[in-house]
Structure 1
Amino acid sequence: MRISDMTRTRAILERHGFTFKKSFGQNFLTDGNILAKIVETAEIDEKVNVIEIGPGIGALTEFLAEKAAEVMAFEIDDRLLPILSETLGHFDNVRVVNEDILKADLKSRINEFKQPDLPIKVVANLPYYITTPILMHLLESGVAFSEFVVMMQKEVADRISAHPKTKAYGSLSIAVQYFMEAKVAFIVPRTVFVPAPNVDSAILKMTRRAEPLVFVKDEDFFFKVTKAAFAQRRKTLWNNLLALFGKSDEVKEKLTQALKKAGIAATARGEALSIEEFGCLADALLEQGLS
């Protein structure tokens, strides 16, 4: 019987006296068909290493271990360690790391794989309350993850995969799509979790680009500009940039020249600009000495 089988899940939780902690955002998936579909979507085989975040009692880990070269699962809740030892102990290619993923030195951890040169994919059911910090930590870690196939709140998945000129499009869309191609693979109803969350989930598949979507002179500045452009969505790009750089006559003149060079109207709003246009704008602002 699979770990994810509802009867077995309940039996495991009751035997260990486990209670859910809201602070960890714990919702355990109990549908084997969906778990199998996640692994299929991630195209896991024996030539891939996997990082999992928040394995819970090991339901997804079990499916991953059957396909992957090796699985490294990060679990912050030490109450789950004896459960995972029981449910996954027979796998020799699974390692549970009792560590907060946000504090993990991922470059060092990757070298602990038996075959660290294999492509590394992140496959996980992410805690809703820290989905964005986890994704940004992974993207900024310097580890060249080949792909993310992760479950998250549907609303967040929609924001990450959104296109310009839509309400969901924003700085998060740009931050991820700069590095990765992102698309929603399928929707997961709230009814297949224990306990059931208040919202539906989505599986988001993100594949690393061979190179960033646009070439910019300064990545940190590029992200600074995109974040500022959406600081107050109802305001124009001009007003949001003034809030970032100041409202002096000198700044206004430099902004005017930068927008002109980038071919962007001062009255435009951030959601109207493509990632390529943001790249042109960021470089033009730098040329004007704004940083």
Structure 2
Amino acid sequence: MSKVQPHKARKRFGQNFLHDHGVIRRIVACIAPKKGQRIVEIGPGKGALTEGIISVTERMDVVELDRDLIPILKVNLFRYPELTVHEADAMKFDFSSLVQDEQTIRVVGNLPYNISTPLIFHLLSQANSITDMHFMLQKEVVDRLASRPGDNLYGRLSVMAQYYCAVDSLFVVGPESFDPAPKVDSAIVRMTPYKTLPFSTADVKKLEDVVRIGFQQRRKTLRNNYKGVLDQDDFAHLGIDPSLRPERLDVKEFVAITNYLLEKES
């Protein structure tokens, strides 16, 4: 194969390349890929994690924005002709387009810190096409995703992720496992979209608005945050104490507020 020039990580793409083979093996074990599965990797970089997966599945799709990494990836993984590289921005990519014969996809990736939250929201909007997701993220983001009601980090991201998915924080990865080393710890999270939502609403945009309003001033009470939206009688009807702060409500209660408001509006 032709020789390609070494690639220096680019800050604008949030690149931190995973090089710890022990961590890579542990991630692959958590994913537990199987032959024939449709696995999609976001930001494969130089293919460290990709090779551990495609050696089992024998085929794989990857979405890479940095065009200079693509020839490196193809050289490093030249033994795998069933690797399909999509040169695209994952924030705009239609992941549902990869579903074939009703076989949902599995999504993995070491996500750039600077776009991890909006990218997760983009993927959640396509949750019906996804079996599960395994991501390397900044540890604080994983903690937010997996937080429960009452936790300090429980907020908008927690509620919306847990509306769609079961969320499991798996293990922490230190900065020394990357090149260049980030300044914070990372962690692996598993997000498994529900086949049937435990609590559902006909208008997810309305739910997003309800959650956003609830957490816009998280130190204030529900009574204050929903002033002009819900009154004392509404809270009584819902069975929710208006003196609580928003982090005390679970997904079920946010969905109940949403459905109640939809009913009132109709």
Structures share a fold, TM > 0.5?
Answer: yes
Flag the structure with larger Rg. Answer: 1
Equivalent residue number for residue 167 of structure 2: 182
Aligned match of 1:99 in 88, 108, 116?
88
Equivalent residue number for residue 207 of structure 1: 192
Aligned partner letter, 2:263: E
Q: Which moved more, 1:141-150 or 1:273-282?
A: 141-150
Q: State yes or no: 1:122 paired with 2:98.
A: no
1:28-67 correspondence runs (5 A): 28-67=17-56
Q: Unaligned 5+ residue runs, structure 1? A: 1-11
Q: Unaligned 5+ residue runs, structure 2? A: none
Q: State yes or no: 1:146 paired with 2:140.
A: no
In structure 1, how many angstroms separate the alpha carbons of the residues matched to 2:60 and 2:232?
52
1:149-168 correspondence runs (5 A): 149-168=134-153
Equivalent residue number for residue 232 of structure 1: 217
1:196 is paired with a residue of what secondary structure? coil
CA RMSD between the two structures = 1.8
Aligned match of 1:80 in 65, 69, 72?
69
Give the Å deviation of 1:257: 2.6
Q: Is the 8 A contact 1:75 1:99 kept in 2?
A: yes
Give the Å deviation of 1:151: 0.5
What do the CA deviations read for 1:92-136 (whole angstroms, capped 9, x no partner)?
22111110011112222x05xxx6543411111111111111111
In structure 1, how many angstroms separate the alpha carbons of the residues matched to 2:177 and 2:121?
27
Equivalent residue number for residue 278 of structure 1: 254
Aligned match of 1:287 in 260, 263, 266?
263
In structure 2, how many angstroms separate the alpha carbons of the residues matched to 1:63 and 1:177?
29
Q: Is the 8 A contact 2:36 2:59 kept in 1?
A: no
Give the Å deviation of 1:286: 2.5
In structure 1, how many angstroms separate the alpha carbons of the residues matched to 2:164 and 2:127?
12
In structure 2, how many angstroms separate the alpha carbons of the residues matched to 1:202 and 1:124?
12
Scaled by the length of structure 1, the TM-score of the pair is 0.86
1:73 is paired with a residue of what secondary structure? strand
Aligned length: 264
Scaled by the length of structure 2, the TM-score of the pair is 0.93
In structure 2, how many angstroms separate the alpha carbons of the residues matched to 1:24 and 1:272?
36
In structure 1, how many angstroms separate the alpha carbons of the residues matched to 2:59 and 2:105?
10
